[in-house]
Amino acid sequence: MADIKNTTDESTNVNPSYEIDPDGDVTLVVNNIARGLPADLKDVPPDLLAGNEELDESTPMEEESSEATEDADSTARHLRLRVSSKQLSLACPHFARMFKSDLREGTELRNNGRVELEVDQPCGTAVLLLMLVIHGRTRQVPRVVSKEMLIEIAVLVDYFECYKAVEVFFDMWITAIEPHPEERVVEMRDWVFISWVFSKKTIFEQTTLAVIRRYPTVIPAQGLPLPARILGLSLSHLSLHPY
């Protein structure tokens, strides 16, 4: 689940820093980014955005003390994204509410004309990809992504409520890697979540049926933010619309 925190530490030197919107008034400090990201946004490898590359193989993996390794990872896995509050608000009701509210984020944006937010999410690369889509930087958006990346995007889309903003790309992505009957039950469960987020009724019913046959009493969430009404589905309930 994505977690948005307000941060006012402007002294932290975090690299790389990408200007998705050069005139943007919001800086997202994104955690859990793969090491080896280039200094320039245009040089980000397509395979990384597609979820096919996690670490830069040119980065030496030396044995270090656990404390030193944690410090290095913490530095390497932060990314600063300059984005637009207007675009975020138009695409995501989550951000629209935040920026209009009297909470710290909203008041700071209104009073100072800018705000810095920390985004704590397991796959920071998915945050970068989502911001590219929301801001119309579609040339760098891959036309095919891995199922793992699709899951991470679905988690963000559900949290930020930006379903319409990614709808066209999602249809493209899911067509390229749609589920197959021979997939394992655990993979079918992933498709239950993906299809639920994007209201793909046929895929939802097919994959949910496969999972329910294996787990007739409750669908295991395994960390996915599935609602209770989905986890409690049984064969007798499957005909009901779950959305």
Q: Tell me the pLDDT tens digit for each residue of 212-243.
A: 777 655 555 566 666 655 655 544 444 444 44
pTM: 0.79
Helices (H) and strands (E) in the chain, counts: 11, 5
Give the pLDDT confidence score for residue 224 in this predicted structure: 66
Give the pLDDT confidence score for residue 119 in this predicted structure: 94
Q: Tell me which residues of the chain have a pLDDT lower than 70.
A: 1-14, 53-77, 181-183, 215-243
Per DSSP (E only), the strands in 51-136 are 79-83, 115-120
Mention the CATH class of domain 15-50+76-162: alpha beta
Whole-angstrom distance, CA of residue 191 vs CA of residue 169: 17
Give the pLDDT confidence score for residue 243 in this predicted structure: 46
Give ranges for CATH 3.30.710.10 in the chain.
15-50+76-162
